[in-house]
Amino acid sequence: MRALLLQSAPTHAPDGSARVDHFAGVAQALRARGIDSDRALVPTARPSLPEGTGLVAVADCLGPMTRHALRLAREAGLPTLLLMDGLVEHRNTFENVRAGPGFLRPAPVHAVACAGEICADVLTELGNNAWATGLPRLDAIKPRPGVASGPLVVATANTPWFSASERERLTDALGLVRDGARALGIDVVWRLTGRCELELGVANDPRPLPELLAIAGGLMTTPSTLLAESMVAGVPSAVIDPHGSPIWHRGSAVWRAREPDAAEDLAALLPRLVRADEALLDDQRASLALTHPDDGRSAERVATVLADLAYEPPIEDAPVIVPLTSPSPDRPKIPGRPRVVNVVWTDGAPNGGVPVWCARMADWFALGDFAYDVRTLYLSPIAFENKDSHADVCVLPPDLDHAQRFAVALDALLAFEPDVVCAHYGDLPHMIATAARFRGVRSVAVLQTDDPASVATVRNYNSFDAAVGVSDACAQRLGAFAGDRPVRVIHDGVPIAEQPRDVGSGPIRVAYFGRMVDLQKRVSDLGVLAGELDALGVACEFHLVGDGPDLDGLLGSIRSLGLASVRVRAHGQRPAAWVEAFLPSIDISVLVSEFEGASITMMEAMGAGCVPCVTDVGSGVRELVTDGENGVIVPVGDMQTMANRIAALDADRSMLGRLGRRAWERARERAGVRAACERWRDLLDAVMAIDPVGAPTDAHLRPRDAYRWTKHWADDELGALRIVTGELRSAGFRRVVPCHAGEGPDPSADAVVLAGEVTPDRAALADRLRESGIGVALSPTLIEPEWCRLARAVERARDAGASRVAVFGAGDHTRRAARAFGLDLPIVGIIDDHPRAPTMLGVPLVRTDDAIGTLRPNAVVLSSDAWESALWAKSAPFRDAGLPVIPLYGTYREDAPARS
């Protein structure tokens, strides 16, 4: 007999130092009971149960792979077990909007192994067959001898809040801990998540968590498995409750931050934690007995439960797997007002410029005399708190099949009964807007940036009634393929102050607002700018507002500079209202991007009277900013010039004031919310007069953003075939015929569904059929997989005479395309700016600067989807050397600049 032990993805400790293995030691314990085991991580193809599998154990029941494995186990009649990945907590079970309403009530398995008696009692009450085994990943923790004196460690859970209001309550509570510890002279080591440390003005300690527990005098944490880790290690531990929720695991104490006497209670608790007496430790030992065993034998107990399931399989079926999608919106229409729905993809809570504009547009249309009912539909892989009365969220969890994902999103849109749908960036908004058009709904394509990838997305779904570019450059891009359809330039509107801000004295205040990513936004240049300003001796406050994966690197580079005159403050992600209130205190708003559409943060700053100091990206900038008249424009990457210009404005505050007033005047003239809404109303009037009828098209079944379609297989292939066939018929095709592998297409068909695995040959067949005027859709996954695209590009290069092809890019896209490296193709290596190993996927991995000399390629294929346009710019040295550079997704100009 074999057991499959599965966790959805490699999980890292909060400090990022090591992978967490939830099944640590279980395989060895099973082997002693006569059961072999297999481990599985995220696959790039449809997973299956290894031969001989008689038992499936998973470490979560929300990930796409674990849910798929549980479905396979149900079909095969196998027993299943969920090993909880942490403590069962009230908030995560009942208040976590991301987990769905039926989370653990009961879990879709035959049995659940959990930390301790408290967890087992709760899970049993929720309808589960629960066993208190302990968590194997905590078996390695050894209790430290005696009572240690040391700092207080203050930590938060990996996901410490589920909404903006919860975040605010948490940071208020942590602020009380910070101030209370300072007043008592207690040293604090911080280990906060979610960028709380930025808001509190403290720094996280980078040392691995086990090192911190070894020196800690005490610990305070929000409800988290860290509580059990700390108690097993013998550290006096207390729970921070900022929300007033039930607390099931208490440690030595629970501090209720919302109680009237919270400050006084904290002042009494803190000294007890860092100078614990035996009474407190006795309380904690009693608590630990119910929370988690400390004998280091959790893996043995889990193996015992698994063996019992294997040798005496349960008779009854496991509970069904509850769908995670959200219900469709129920929004009755307003009589006499056509309904307009903005469809926006968001990876989480919508804080970016486009969601902010959509909310403003809906509010102004509701309050003003604009005669349209404007709503927003957010498409998101996770649920989040939505307080926008004009918006709804359609949750599309990663375990949905591609066709099912499309159908759920389309149903959510049609539930609005829209008259016009406006599709913003990303595949899915354009897909469902195109599908709705065949049901009599007019559509407007909105181009938010003029980068080639965004343009290629709109062009891919070239079935719209009108289009909007947020800048002249965006509109020109749309005009290249819009034909005689209306194309308008409409800036996303921003609030305009009654008067421009007054310029004060003291250090000049500079701010960057936006996503903290290096690609496109080039945030690493902000560190260079801070260093240049410091070298000039400019007394400056430099504020960073926003979050993203490259923020930590930026802050690390800034710290390494040892700045003397420039004080940098990172605020993290802030809501639009906070930014609007903060802007009047800022002198200069900087933007250092490679490309933009029409930057909303730039326009917001101008609307407050701040001076825009921006890079010359073309789109949006030259339409609103005139260098030396109402702002500063410098070449992309030239931070020395930007610093000199800021220093000049610092020295001449009258010039600073004049430029700020003129920036405000230009924003009032071109970028106000009311003016934008009036332009939108005029466009909508024109769109409503259009009859939304067009030629049949398969565009809405051709997604191109592979990185957003994270699942690589289909659980319901027949269901996908039905959805895809029905959509082609809805799109106007008369005879839709499936074509399975090994078959030729029916010559009488005007549309074909290529069913089964997509291979290079099948993808080439799809291209030929489309070129001949036949509609084509791929089923069941809709999208050509990354390995197939890469293989076809290399084949084209080989057919053109290339014998040594290099692949540029060593990121997720290349890893997902790993199958192409096992084919008989002339791939000689992979190129990356920062190689982490000498080889990858069986070929050399080399630095970009060394690629030509080391690999001697005669063709280069770009391997990226999300950042292909950036790779194209970086590939200029290869093109300059005469090498053909082949993109997989977009079409690019040869004069695209190299990124410095």
CA distance 511 to 588: 6
pLDDT (tens digit per residue) in 671-696: 888 889 999 999 999 999 998 777 88
Cβ(191)–Cβ(17) below 8 Å:
no
CA distance 267 to 866: 50
- Residue 181 amino acid letter: A
pLDDT (tens digit per residue) in 520-529: 788 999 999 9
Non-local (6+) Cβ contacts of 767 within 8 A are none
CA distance 474 to 457: 13
pLDDT at 135 over 90: yes
Cβ(274)–Cβ(217) below 8 Å:
yes
As a whole number of Å, the CA-based R_g of the chain is 29
**Cβ-based burial of 744 (10 A; exposed 0-12, middle 13-18, buried ≥19):** exposed
pLDDT for 41: 53
3-state secondary structure 349-370: CCCCHHHHHHHHHHHHHHHCCC
Tokens of 555: 């802050």
Mean pLDDT along residues 617-626: 80
CA distance 202 to 199: 8
CA distance 498 to 513: 22
- Report, in this order, helix, strand and coil percent for the chain, each rounded to 5: 40, 20, 45
pLDDT for 544: 94
pLDDT at 293 over 60: yes
pLDDT for 276: 78
The string of DSSP letters for 496-537 reads --SSPPPP-SSSEEEEEES---STTT-THHHHHHHHHHHHTT
CA distance 83 to 407: 33
CA distance 109 to 112: 7
* % of the chain exceeding 90 in pLDDT: 62
β-pair partners for 540: 508, 566
**Angle, alpha carbons 620-623-629 (nearest 5°):** 120
Q: 3-state class of 15 per DSSP?
A: coil
| Pairing relationship of beta strands 805-808 and 859-862 according to DSSP bridges | parallel
Local confidence band at 11 (pLDDT 50, 70, 90 cut-offs): very low
pLDDT for 509: 96
Local confidence band at 45 (pLDDT 50, 70, 90 cut-offs): low
The reported pTM is 0.84
Torsion angle (degrees, nearest 10) of CA 678, 681, 683, 687: 180
Q: What is the DSSP letter of 92?
A: I
- Residue 634 amino acid letter: V
Tokens of 116: 């301790």
Nearest to 28 by CA among 20, 36, 40: 36
Mean pLDDT along residues 309-328: 84
pLDDT for 897: 39
Cβ(209)–Cβ(221) below 8 Å:
no
Tell me the pLDDT of the chain averaged across its residues: 89
pLDDT (tens digit per residue) in 873-900: 889 999 999 999 999 987 776 544 333 3
Question: Reading across the β-sheet that carries 859-862, which strands appear in turn?
Answer: 839-840, 843-847, 827-832, 805-808, 859-862, 885-886
Buried/exposed code over 429-455 (b: 16+ C-beta within 10 A; e: otherwise): bbbbbbbbbbeebbbbbbbbbbbbbbb
Tokens of 725: 């066939």
pLDDT (tens digit per residue) in 407-423: 999 999 999 999 999 99
**Angle, alpha carbons 51-54-57 (nearest 5°):** 105
pLDDT for 128: 96
CA distance 777 to 753: 5
Segment of 156-165, 258-267, 317-326 carrying the highest mean pLDDT: 258-267
Nearest to 598 by CA among 430, 487, 472, 454: 472
Q: How far apart are the first and last CA of the chain?
A: 57
pLDDT at 807 over 70: yes
Local confidence band at 394 (pLDDT 50, 70, 90 cut-offs): very high
Local confidence band at 665 (pLDDT 50, 70, 90 cut-offs): very high
Secondary structure tally for the chain: helices H, strands E: 31, 35
pLDDT at 780 over 80: yes
- In Å, the largest CA–CA distance within the chain is 86
pLDDT at 824 over 90: yes
Nearest to 306 by CA among 39, 127, 123, 78: 78
pLDDT at 706 over 80: no
Mean pLDDT along residues 640-644: 96
pLDDT (tens digit per residue) in 459-495: 988 889 999 998 888 899 999 999 999 999 998 888 8
pLDDT for 567: 93
β-pair partners for 420: 340, 442
Cβ(395)–Cβ(383) below 8 Å:
yes
CA distance 120 to 88: 9
| Pairing relationship of beta strands 339-345 and 237-241 according to DSSP bridges | unpaired
Mark out the alpha helices in 632-713 (DSSP H runs): 639-651, 653-670, 673-688
Local confidence band at 449 (pLDDT 50, 70, 90 cut-offs): confident
β-pair partners for 663: none
CA distance 270 to 650: 46
CA distance 341 to 321: 32
Half-sphere exposure for 218 (CA within 13 Å, toward CB):
26
Mean pLDDT along residues 207-231: 92
pLDDT (tens digit per residue) in 92-131: 898 887 777 789 999 999 999 999 999 999 999 999 999 9
Cβ(782)–Cβ(703) below 8 Å:
yes
Non-local (6+) Cβ contacts of 335 within 8 A are none
